[in-house]
Amino acid sequence: MRIVIALGGNALLRRGEAMTAEAQRGNVRAACEQIARVVEGNELVIAHGNGPQVGLLALQSAAYTDVSPYPLDVLGAQTEGMIGYVIEQELGNLLPFEQPFATLLTQVEVDAEDPAFQSPTKPIGPVYSREEAERLASEKGWSIRPDGDKFRRVVPSPEPKHIFEIRPVKWLLEQGTIVICAGGGGIPTVHDESGRLVGVEAVIDKDLCSALLAQQLDADLLVIATDVDAVYLDWGQPTQRAIATASPDMMDEFEFAAGSMGPKVEAACRFARHAGKTAVIGSLEDIGAIVAGEDAGTRISTSIREIGYRQGN
């Protein structure tokens, strides 16, 4: 079975943790322990978030005032290499020596006229107090938005249109390689007026890019791993309940938070609709059960005829 696993930000850095290399490696190690359970007999592609990491690199770049700060596409490429390296190493330590790995820098085409460029929404970097966020916005020209009781920088998040390295990913999979790619939603690029491919100042949503990746790879399963065990209705309320199974049309009847579960649900529904396959949103700890087809996560497929809820949640 060909599987795309999209690791949420919690797989790299948990809220409130210091952005140290040690903390991130520890989280990656825990994620890899779960992924290692589903390697045998499957073709595996791993995508991941990079919001905190690219934000930290942006701050570090801005601190060196002798040159202009590096653009987000360059910083995104740096995080793909950095995070891919750690995933390769930690997963490699759990698997036979003969298992090959490859991390691919992944350029993703977006539309230069995408309306997202006029309305930044994608959070990157650490959280700040209101006072600190407003100061940074004034000094650096950032757009900021609330994130819980804190604030974060937000940047444009255009739609992914095409993954340029899709053929090398397929070639590597055919040779039994575990591929890490499309990190942070890929490196956002456009064709300029002369037809040259250039990077743009944006961050593509990781889950939407993972859905496109899974579709273009003709994957059998898309797993969106996050820090909750399913998609919930009435989250945080006495009436909350977990969705066990649903079709994309059924999920369209509900609204989910744009900054958290919304993109994951949209990505899962896109893959299910366009590929005619199954997407599952669930916890990192349940990856093995999800791949085995057990009752775990929220399973979305066009073949589902009635919405199902999980008891005991």
Q: How many domains does the chain have?
A: 2
Angle at Cα 193 formed by Cα 190 and Cα 197, nearest 5°?
35
CATH of the domain at 62: 3.40.1160.10
- Residue 203 phi/psi, 5-degree rounding, is -135, 125
**pLDDT at residue 123 above 90?**
no
Domain boundary among 155, 181, 214: 155
Contact status, residue 296 vs residue 286, Cβ threshold 8 Å: yes
Contact status, residue 187 vs residue 159, Cβ threshold 8 Å: no
Q: Which residue has the higher pLDDT, 167 or 14?
A: 167
| Residues 135, 103 share a domain | no
**pLDDT at residue 245 above 80?**
yes
Name the active-site residue from 10, 55, 76, 184: 10
Residue 137, burial from CB neighbour count under 10 angstroms (0-12, 13-18, 19+): middle
| Residues 209, 273 share a domain | yes
Name the active-site residue from 27, 183, 186, 206: 206
Q: Which domain holds residue 174?
A: 2-112+158-309
| Residues 36, 65 share a domain | yes
Name the active-site residue from 51, 76, 122, 125: 122
pLDDT band of residue 127 (cuts 50, 70, 90) is confident
122 is catalytic: yes
| Residues 103, 169 share a domain | yes
Average pLDDT over residues 14-21: 77
| Residues 141, 201 share a domain | no
150 is catalytic: no
pTM to 2 decimals?
0.90
pLDDT of residue 149: 87
| Residues 213, 145 share a domain | no
Per-residue pLDDT tens for 135-185? Answer: 988 987 889 989 888 898 888 999 999 999 999 999 999 999 999 999 999
| Residues 207, 167 share a domain | yes
206 is catalytic: yes
| Residues 268, 207 share a domain | yes
- Residue 311 phi/psi, 5-degree rounding, is -75, 150
| Residues 166, 134 share a domain | no
277 is catalytic: no
pLDDT of residue 10: 66
| Residues 148, 26 share a domain | no
| Residues 175, 149 share a domain | no
170 is catalytic: no
Domain boundary among 100, 129, 155: 155
Per-residue pLDDT tens for 212-229? Answer: 999 999 999 999 999 889
Name the active-site residue from 9, 76, 185, 282: 9
Name the active-site residue from 186, 264, 277, 282: 264
| Residues 167, 151 share a domain | no
pLDDT band of residue 14 (cuts 50, 70, 90) is confident
